[in-house]
Structure 1
Amino acid sequence: MTLDGYQAKIEYDADLDLFRGEILGLNGGADFLGKNPKELRAEFKKSLQVFLEVCLEQGIEPRRSYSGKFNVRIPPDLHERLAIVAQAEGKSINALAQEALQQRVAA
């Protein structure tokens, strides 16, 4: 579920017999509950609004920042195949990985 550029993950909570949403990519936690999509959207909006207000009051950036760097551990045979494909295409492994990751997360 998405609202104003913020994305939430929705899961069913059997103990509560409700759906629970968690807003992703924040510099803190914000969640919400609802019985159905309409209620979830309304609660998402309320929860996000409260979170953003608190961030503004406390001078906190609402979105978590990312460095653009992370390490990935892969099997040596996959590393070798990636290196060969990258070399054959005249690219770096990093460029090849960026393309693959971009395709995976493209909306």
Structure 2
Amino acid sequence: MIGNILEYKGYHSKIEYDAESKVLRGKIEGVSDFIDFETDDIADVENQFHQAVDDYIEFCKEVGKKPEKEYKGMFNVRISPDLHKKLAICALKDGETLNSEVEKAIIQFINMSFESVSLNNKISAK
């Protein structure tokens, strides 16, 4: 677990406290289906998350649907036209595609972020 992020069978959830209801809630991230869970027992949070993932996988099996994998590797990013232009010029100068330049920048950002929390999870380009 990293902070309040849980991982199980390749799925992730951020745990948040709902002060009004006095429960801990989570939602499985990175899939189009809405899969959530909650508990008022901190010792049961991980179990509820695991149960939500297992129930999702079982439901998919029952209806003949392949469970979604988290994050398909594509997303839209909205940036200013000026930043878009500068990035495109950098890519052209480096003989790279725009996607490749963005991927390199994201890798650099993630590696710096992991260094700041002392994790040894460096990544590199495909």
The bucket for the TM-score relative to the shorter chain is: 0.7 to 0.9
Root-mean-square deviation (Å): 2.5
- Matched residues, number: 106
Query: Is 1:90 aligned to residue 90 of structure 2?
Result: no
Q: Name 1:40's counterpart in structure 2.
A: 45
Instruction: Check whether the contact 1:26–1:62 (CA below 8 A) recurs between aligned residues.
Output: no
Alignment TM-score, normalising by the size of structure 1: 0.78
Q: State the alpha-carbon separation in 1 of the partners of residues 54 and 70 from structure 2.
A: 20
Identity of aligned residues (%): 37
In structure 1, runs of 5+ residues without a counterpart are none
Query: Is 1:20 aligned to residue 25 of structure 2?
Result: yes
State the one-letter code of the partner of 2:57. Answer: L
In structure 2, runs of 5+ residues without a counterpart are 1-5, 112-120, 122-126
Q: CA deviation at 1:72?
A: 3.3
Q: State the alpha-carbon separation in 2 of the partners of residues 33 and 67 from structure 1.
A: 26
Deviates more, 1:27-36 or 1:40-49: 27-36
Q: Name 1:56's counterpart in structure 2.
A: 61
Alignment TM-score, normalising by the size of structure 2: 0.68
